[in-house]
Amino acid sequence: MRLQPESVNILRKHGLDYLRCRLLQFEDACRACAVNPARVKEELLLSKQADKNTTPLDKALATTLEQHEHVRQCLLKTTYVLDAAIEAEQTLQYELLTTRTCFTALVEKLEMHLYKEEMILFPDFINLWGKVSTGSRANCPYMYSMQYPIERLEAEHDSAIRMLSEIRKLIAYNTPFRNGGVHYQAVCQAIQLLEAELKKLIDLENNILFREVLSLENKLEDSS
């Protein structure tokens, strides 16, 4: 809603008034209001496509937010298959529980990382674009360079990849795991998919979104 304010009107039209809504998943909120989630999503996407005045930052943010959702779905799927494997693979309880402990730490780290980006940094990115478009620093809500928070986010990217790599090593090289059945294979595939989606997100942010933000900040400095 911060990135696409006009979406509020679409949600309210269907009775999904976010100001009065409890903390619910999108699909659950739609069911509570007897609304087809697919229809609402379609209207939101059409509204987004109708905006002809998109900037490179708009496009980078939109693509990044979509990738955020892909990563979240992978986290949910991996959690599900890990739980299923723990229940089914009785001979691998210790190894699977150890893996889930490591994975839970990764999930917590990534959830906090995505939250900081969406609720703190991305709104600041949009504000920065507003300052560049007007050529003024007046009323700027932050007094720091974007370089430092971006470096922190990039460090968190590296840390998440290291954690995921350790989980993969635990599964790949632990001898009891190699005696696992279909549930073990499902865990391996889910983690492999998560790694691919996470690396895609990191590439988007490090090499496109963050570079665009730093370029905007340089333009603002040059104009001041």
Q: Which pLDDT score is estimated for 72?
A: 93
Domain limits of the chain? 1-52, 56-223
pLDDT at 150 over 50: yes
- Res 197: pLDDT: 96
Q: How far is CA 192 from the centre of its chain?
A: 17
Question: Higher pLDDT residue, 165 or 14?
Answer: 165
What percentage of residues in the chain have a pLDDT greater than 70? 78
- Copy the structure tokens of residue 150: 């971006």
Q: How far is Cα 30 from Cα 49, in angstroms, rounded to an integer?
A: 22
Contact 64, 203 (CB under 8 A): no
Coil, helix or strand at residue 153: helix
- Name the band, by pLDDT with cuts 50, 70 and 90, for residue 61: confident
Kindly give the interhelix angle for 56-88 and 210-223, rounded to the nearest 10 degrees.
150
Query: What is the H or E stretch that residue 223 is in?
Result: helix 210-223
